[in-house]
Amino acid sequence: MGFNFDVDSPAFWDEGEINHELSRVFDICHSCRRCYNLCPSFNELLDGIDEVGGEATQLPSKTVRAVVDLCYQCKLCDPHCPYVPPHRWEVDFPRLMLRAKAARVKKEGMPLQDKVLADPNTLGGVASHFPHLANWANQRKILRVLMERTVGIHRNRNLPLYSSLTFAEWFARHRPEPQGKNGKVLLFYTCAVNYNDTDVGAAAVQVLVRNQIGVVAPPQVCCGMPALDGGDIDSARQRAQDNIRTLYGAVQQGYKIVVPGPTCGYMIRREYPHLVKDEAGKAVVDNTLDLCEYLMSLHREKKLDTAFTRGMGRVAYQVPCHLRVMNIGFKSRDLLRLLPNTTVELIEKCAGVDGTWGFKKEYFHASLTVARGMLRAIDQVDADVTVSDCPLAGLQVQHERGYRPRHPIQLVRDAYGLEPLQV
């Protein structure tokens, strides 16, 4: 008994073993309590244990289900917890929540809400053919009420705007050289960049080309994290396998894989090893880097062009949760600090959207509550510009403050004096 995220093991799906593991981990969390107030899941758990006299085994099933559903997979409990593997107690709280949800989905089926949110490729593929209509519809109150009633997306959750040109289409028009003097990368551009933030991908290409890096961006599918969040292990694995087939071919040709989205980078590096256990998967994992992590590796090798012509003033940088838990340091902050006349204030607070959770009608207001600390910290900086690598953090700031933060790579592009290419 203990930590088990082997999705191919019958024990992974066994309800009795899952309940035993939930009780074991909950009892350890009750004794520790370092994560109280870290997120709503721990508050529900620890308050619930207190209500049953401190006995984790006596938690009612309703409370256990709520604890599972309130875990939005930010992973921030991992660096807090002193008992994560390889500790002998083997506590991996977020993966245990995923395991419990996956077993439930296998038994009860996947709710329509999660089915819709788990497939951004289909949503984006349809909406990108009619972006103006999709954006108009997503802002009509009566249609949002209908959306809330049918698929459970809260009527007041601001939704990402769809670009008039997808990044894949943009890349096909501006195709850079696939080889470069200083290296070559495959850009895993993410669904958010492809359908909603084309300029982030364009800025990444401009900066990479400026640094004499060859760039390719072959067709790719969703990383699979939304499906995994919803408990659909099979769909998450299928998407991982589809991507690995493409990415492994590039790795074999000497390409590094760079990712501008923290959640997708986390998914490839930390979740793919549980889903695809072969040589190709391992090679992809070992050769995947966050975009700014890659650029800072160029800087260490004295290959990064630092002939910046513009400063950015005072920058508030919200570091995404999934970058923090990858333990790579604050590479985006370090990159921005290379810009002239630029100071960077680090905001280590969760935005509370985290994948699909903050879109759901049940958790929308809880999501805003989680974000209060981040928003207060940003306000206190009184910055000239706010940035985050996370598009969902950007949505939250836009909802509460009325402006959209930029991605660090856009600031780097601007600091070179490069004009945005038409998107």
Domain count, the chain: 2
Looking at residue 3, what is its pLDDT?
A: 66
Amino acid at position 246, single letter: T
Per-residue pLDDT band for 11 (boundaries 50, 70, 90) equals very high
How do residues 67-118 score in pLDDT, each as one tens digit?
999 999 999 999 999 999 999 999 999 999 999 999 999 999 999 999 999 9
Nearest CA to 393 out of 412, 382, 407 is that of 407
- From 108, 131, 157, give the residue that closes a domain: 108
- Please report whether residue 346 resides in a domain: yes
221 within some domain: no
Residue 34: give the domain boundaries: 10-108
DSSP states of 62-111 as a string? HHHHHHHHH-----THHHH-TT-TTSTT---HHHHHHHHHHHHHHHH---
Neighbours of 399 (CB within 10 A): 19
173-213 pLDDT, tens digit per residue, is 999 999 999 999 999 999 999 999 999 999 999 999 999 99
CATH number for 389: 3.40.50
How confident is the prediction for the chain on average, in pLDDT? 95
Q: Say if 5 falls within a structural domain.
A: no
Tell me whether strands 342-347 and 184-187 are parallel, antiparallel or unpaired.
Answer: unpaired
User: Global pTM?
Assistant: 0.95
What average pLDDT does the segment 12-40 reach? 95
pLDDT single digits (tens) 216-247: 999 999 999 999 999 999 999 999 999 999 99
Do the domain assignments include residue 227? Answer: no
Q: What band does 56 get if pLDDT is binned at 50, 70 and 90?
A: very high
Domain termination residue (choose one: 108, 127, 158): 108
Domain presence at residue 194: no
Q: Name the domain boundary from 93, 108, 123.
A: 108
The pLDDT, as a whole number, for residue 421 is: 80
33 phi and psi angles, rounded to 5 deg: 65, 20
Tens-digit pLDDT profile for residues 125-149: 999 999 999 999 999 999 999 999 9
pLDDT digits (tens, 9 = 90+) for 396-417: 999 999 999 999 999 999 999 9
